Amino acid sequence: PATQTTQSVALTAPPVSLSLSPDGLFAAVGHVGSASYVNLTTRSVTRNYTYPATAASDANAEVVLAADW
């Protein structure tokens, strides 16, 4: 970060993957059975998405933010 300090965001579940927006202002955090959309400026979760957790998705839970998000 520009301030050279560590900041935290409370999440609903442990993270298993992470994707940053191209401008660095947002992050998508993957969890088992869900994903969180995080505003990094305000350090807050703006939305949670859920999806059915299966053995395949548990092992491969990945999130990707597209350039047009």
Pick 68 or 46 by higher pLDDT: 46
Pick 12 or 3 by higher pLDDT: 12
Q: Would you say 41 and 27 are in contact if contact means Cβ atoms under 8 Å apart? A: no
Predicted local distance difference test score (pLDDT) of residue 3 = 75
Residue 51 DSSP code: -
Predicted local distance difference test score (pLDDT) of residue 51 = 80
Torsion of CA 37, 49, 53, 66, to 10 degrees: -50
Q: What is the pLDDT of residues 10-66, one digit of tens each?
A: 998 999 999 999 888 999 999 888 899 999 999 999 999 988 766 555 555 667 776
Instruction: Please state the pTM of the whole predicted model.
Output: 0.76
Predicted local distance difference test score (pLDDT) of residue 18 = 92
